[in-house]
Chain A
Amino acid sequence: MRSELNELALIDSYLFRQLDQQQNQMVETSVLLSEAFARKVEAQRTAHRLIRLYGRNEQRRRLENIYQQLLSEPAFANQLKSWI
């Protein structure tokens, strides 16, 4: 992989706490010494958060579809009858 992609992999390992102590210190030192590298780390952390948000949104959509599907089953709907 080209060096930029290797750097992404390294930052991933740092953010997921998969580095040994020496590698971890190396990344933390780079964060302190290089503003550009620090911005990459923060943006990658945000990317992970956005991917999780995307995953959860999709999962919630799937659960809503399941709920609507089950409401069309009389046996299920009857159990919620007093509310529907």
Chain B
Amino acid sequence: MTTQNDDPIIGLYRECFPDFARMIRRMGGNLEQAKDSFHDALLIYLEKEKAGALCLHASPKAYLLGTARICWLRSQNSNPPLPLPEGFEPADPQDSDTEETERTLLASLQKSGKKCLELLRAFYYDHRSMQDIAERFGFKGRRSATVQKYKCLEKVREEIKTSLCAVN
């Protein structure tokens, strides 16, 4: 089991954030902005790493500092907006009404089926194998876990359909 102390992200955080915070201070930003942009960059780093799409041409630290700097500049309403790293899809839809509807829907799904969301996250977001998911969630094997994954997806999809019908 991974403890907080041997989590590699903690090591990266410890190594990179103070330098990034100093960089943002020199550029006129504050600590809260530095933290938010650094978290955006870590999110990008972790998602690409899990998807097997992280191509580092320099050290992880250089990648993180560069990405965090872009995130900070984007947050300062740079015009035109700087592009996000290749392959990173923003989660939020462009339309703010849709965004609000989906946030409400997610809150409702979290109340009605946290375990299903956790299972779906493990597969679609964390890119875990079905074997790994079967062990973590206590299924007999890969096949039972796969069936359960689709049942959960079906349940979520039905709630979305019902909710979108009610809105339209």
* B13/A5 in contact, CB under 8 A: no
Tell me if A51 counts as interface (CB < 8 A to partner B): yes
- The answer to whether A54 touches B117, judged by C-beta atoms less than 8 angstroms apart, is yes
B157 to A47, Cβ gap below 8 A? yes
The chain B residues found within 8 Å of chain A, CB to CB, are: 4, 7, 9-10, 13-14, 17-18, 21, 25, 30-31, 35, 39, 42-43, 46, 89, 91-93, 102-103, 105-106, 109-110, 117, 120-121, 124-126, 146-147, 150-151, 153-154, 156-158, 160-161, 164
Q: Decide: A47 and B156 in contact? CB cutoff 8 A.
A: yes
Interface of B is mostly: helix
- A26 interface residue (CB < 8 Å to B): no
Q: Complex: how many Å from CA A67 to CA B32? A: 11
B106 touches A53 (CB 8 A): yes
- Binary flags per residue of A22-63, CB closer than 8 Å to B gives 1, else 0: 000000000000000001100110111111111111111001
Given contacts A9-B150, A63-B39, A64-B39, contact A54 B106 (CB under 8 A): yes
Given contacts A55-B121, A55-B125, A83-B25, contact A44 B105 (CB under 8 A): no
Residues of chain B within 8 A (CB-CB) of A82 are 25
Q: Which of B92, B103, B156 has the most CB of A within 10 A?
A: B156
Given known contacts A47-B160, A54-B117, A80-B18, A70 and B105 CB-to-CB distance under 8 angstroms: no
Bound-complex Cα distance A83 to B9 (A)? 23
Is B42 a contact of A63 with CB atoms below 8 Å? yes
- What would be 5 A-B contacts, judged by CB atoms less than 8 Å apart? A40-B157, A51-B117, A54-B109, A55-B125, A67-B13
Least distance between A52 CB and chain B CB atoms (Å):
5
